[in-house]
Structure 1
């Protein structure tokens, strides 16, 4: 069995990625926020130029599926009219920024994100395709479980900090110097061999022994702590709503666009800005205890050409059997795109079914459904 192909880059709008159901076009909302007209426009473009299926990615982006070579051009024109298109593939790739959704007007978060995006446009070095930035400047960081290589956070003393992912210290900065300091760290990563030695990720580069410049060792970051978990419900900034596997129909996004501005989260949820109460719309997960929140699954076959089995029908069927407080990850191939790294119980697709554990046999979906409780029994 051949190994899955690792692309090493993420799709964009200008540089889409081919999948089993057409081109995947990723839209990167500026500051992680969509005005109602932008959200409504994306929904309309998805229906007109794609298959009407919209994904939320783990980097707080919006993906349109089912786009064809012929419809890609008109789609780009529509995104440009909405102010959602970068001037070039290089600029789009560099603007890989995830922003905490829990910001308040005037707290400086959006200004920091805008300054970083502006600085990245002309001056960033040639960074790897997945290299990213996180603006996570609340009193408690919430994006440490989200992939990023350079993080803007608050230090243990409550000051603004620029930190390399994988480091416990960073550089004290001001809102005026944060963006340039982040670029200085990105340049050091490139100049110190980070691209060639660590598959392009900051934490791996540091783990191999790279020593940060002194300025990035001057202030202590907040300690790691337990990663926060978020679920649908009311938060100070509005209402969080979820979607099964982070996927919705264009009609759902169009209906949400008629409510308030939307903030896209890296937890495959949307935050409806300023809303209090649960919107009565089909396709939303609004119950924090919904079993579908305990399963993670990639697109699977046939939507992904590298997937060896369908994933989401099995994940949906097993959801009710996942104990509260646990997670099940059903992956269509060894890349485990939907949840990289260790964590939940994982079923890995193979040609003969799904494997649970390194040495066990591959089991069919039917066999797994007959005894789902064995997945969560201690070995």
Structure 2
């Protein structure tokens, strides 16, 4: 690794289990069915302004994150989240509700039915590792392709329903009515074969073998991933580094008339049911409205001093690089500035990756943040001399 190994926790911070970071407490909100009403979103923006740093971060797993919260404000903040209907009444269920659902679901469709049934079943499932997550990807919008989940409901290439374990190339065929029974059987197998100790499904499959009939069908592939732009009566948008400025978000909701917001994997979000002129209103409010905006390909965590594990600043440098190199980006290219080797903002390979280490940066090309760098101890000045990837 290019830097001293950062601390990797076996759990993710939630609204009821906040985490102390460099700028205060960090709380993560998991939207029910992947959607937040416009009214609740306005309330969340108000809470972010009164108790946090005024930003709401879109996470890579389509959650919403508040940070910069003083420890003394946590109880008041969680009470506010509860009043907005953003928390499950049962704290145990809230901690288990780590579900990503594709953003294109409609009431009564397969994704919606599976997600609703799964939420009702969470209390009856075996105890799972803290980061264990589920994905529901049976509609028109890709979710699994953009975020790692330990188990995923997907469609096979022939349109049939499958349940696939992360790390397995193929999935188990299921009838629609047996989806949750199939999930329970896979989780029982995971626990019985020692998965509680390995923690994540993909890691577990390095030594544990799935039953052969659970490797029966390949998942479908997608022609493209979601991009900013209109989609019928809805509008998909982005924000630089996934950071939503609370006041700008309230302006956006008011000007577009959206009824709800759905966070999406990849730090995009969708406004549901927008009025005419929504694209222009979103652009005026400072959001990304077109798929060719170079900011979509530049990833950066909050960095130092906001994250306790970061060893260098990130977003100021990332903005400069976006201005300097962004116009030269070709489709599919990516640039990642990470405060440490965990690479939270983009935990995969990028064309150009910079990793903070002792106040300077390591440089990697076509590699992940934890890989071996080709150059070390670069300053901001050194990096800004780069003219190409």
Structures share fold, TM-score greater than 0.5: yes
Aligned to 1:341: 348
CA displacement, residues 292-343 of structure 1 (integer Å, 9 cap, x when unaligned): 1121011100110111110011111011314222110111111111111324
Taking the aligned partners of 2:8 and 2:113, their CA distance within structure 1 comes to 35
Taking the aligned partners of 1:224 and 1:155, their CA distance within structure 2 comes to 9
| Residues 237 and 176 (structure 1), Cα distance of their counterparts in 2 relative to 1, 3 Å cut | farther
Aligned to 1:241: 237
- The alpha-carbon deviation at position 225 of structure 1 amounts to 6.6
On the 8 A contact 1:27/1:61 being kept in 2, the answer is yes
Aligned to 1:308: 311
On the 8 A contact 2:101/2:143 being kept in 1, the answer is no
Aligned to 1:230: 226
Taking the aligned partners of 2:344 and 2:294, their CA distance within structure 1 comes to 21
Taking the aligned partners of 1:39 and 1:359, their CA distance within structure 2 comes to 43
Taking the aligned partners of 1:304 and 1:318, their CA distance within structure 2 comes to 21
Alignment of 1:163-182 (within 5 A): 163-182=164-183
The correspondence for 1:298, drawn from 262, 280, 301, is 301
| Residues 95 and 180 (structure 1), Cα distance of their counterparts in 2 relative to 1, 3 Å cut | farther
Taking the aligned partners of 1:68 and 1:352, their CA distance within structure 2 comes to 26
Aligned to 1:319: 322
Aligned to 2:262: 263
- The alpha-carbon deviation at position 238 of structure 1 amounts to 1.3
Taking the aligned partners of 2:222 and 2:51, their CA distance within structure 1 comes to 44
SS at match of 1:47: helix
Taking the aligned partners of 2:14 and 2:141, their CA distance within structure 1 comes to 30
Aligned to 2:42: 40
Taking the aligned partners of 1:194 and 1:43, their CA distance within structure 2 comes to 38
- The alpha-carbon deviation at position 352 of structure 1 amounts to 4.7
Aligned to 1:123: 124
The alignment of Structure 1 onto Structure 2 pairs a total of residues equal to 368
1:220 aligns with 2:217: yes
Taking the aligned partners of 2:203 and 2:347, their CA distance within structure 1 comes to 15
1:206 aligns with 2:202: no
- The alpha-carbon deviation at position 256 of structure 1 amounts to 3.4
SS at match of 1:78: helix
| Residues 139 and 34 (structure 1), Cα distance of their counterparts in 2 relative to 1, 3 Å cut | closer
Aligned to 2:22: 20
Consecutive unaligned residues in structure 2, runs of 5 or more? 365-372
On the 8 A contact 2:156/2:218 being kept in 1, the answer is yes
RMSD: 2.1
On the 8 A contact 1:141/1:153 being kept in 2, the answer is no
- The alpha-carbon deviation at position 263 of structure 1 amounts to 1.0
Taking the aligned partners of 1:139 and 1:305, their CA distance within structure 2 comes to 39
- The alpha-carbon deviation at position 68 of structure 1 amounts to 1.7
- The alpha-carbon deviation at position 36 of structure 1 amounts to 1.3
SS at match of 1:341: coil
Consecutive unaligned residues in structure 1, runs of 5 or more? none
Taking the aligned partners of 2:183 and 2:320, their CA distance within structure 1 comes to 45
Alignment of 1:107-122 (within 5 A): 107-120=109-122, 122=123
